[in-house]
Amino acid sequence: MAYVIAEPCIGTKDSACVDACPVDCIHPKKDEPGFDEVEILNIEPVECIDCGACVPACPVAAIYDSVDSTPPSQKELIEANAVYREGDSGAVSQAEQIVKNHMSAHADLMAVAPAERAAAHAK
């Protein structure tokens, strides 16, 4: 498991990470099917080479460099990244359902500005 896109991406989907990634492993991109429908972008772990270029590109600090560094309250989003496969509608749906379940479980935090959600989890 490589880098992980987590909760601050929900409601942001800035996509600067896509442009920063040298191996094109972050999806869906703005010009790919399903971009408007998904709540979050995902890093395909098999493709990611752990270069870390995406981390400083994200304006809301949504990307963690490992499973261990992803906050415990956002751990289920690791699974969303893990199952996502661009072009595989079943895998895309499965990943999205994980994200939607997370959003339902943290409805109060979804009202918090994305860049402040990680800190809000800790309260």
Asked if 51 interacts with ligand F3S (CB under 6 A), we say: yes
Beta bridge partners of 63: 5
Q: How far is the CB of 28 from ligand F3S (least distance, A)?
A: 10
- DSSP 8-state symbol, 60: T
Using the CB atoms, write b or e for 97-112: b if 16+ within 10 Å. ebbeebbeebeebbeb
Choice from 27, 38, 39, 41 touching ligand F3S (CB under 6 A): 41
Q: Is 67 in the site for ligand F3S (CB under 6 A)?
A: no
Query: Could you tell me the two tokens for 119?
Result: 């800190």
User: Which of the ranges 27-35, 46-54, 91-99, 101-109 carries the binding residues for ligand F3S, by CB under 6 A?
Assistant: 46-54
Residue choice 4, 7, 25, 102 for contact with ligand F3S (CB under 6 A)? 25
Task: Give 47: exposed, middle or buried? Use CB within 10 Å, 0-12, 13-18, 19+.
Answer: middle
Residues that bind ligand F3S (CB under 6 A): 2-3, 5, 9, 12-17, 20-21, 23, 25-26, 41, 43, 48-54, 57-58, 60, 62-63
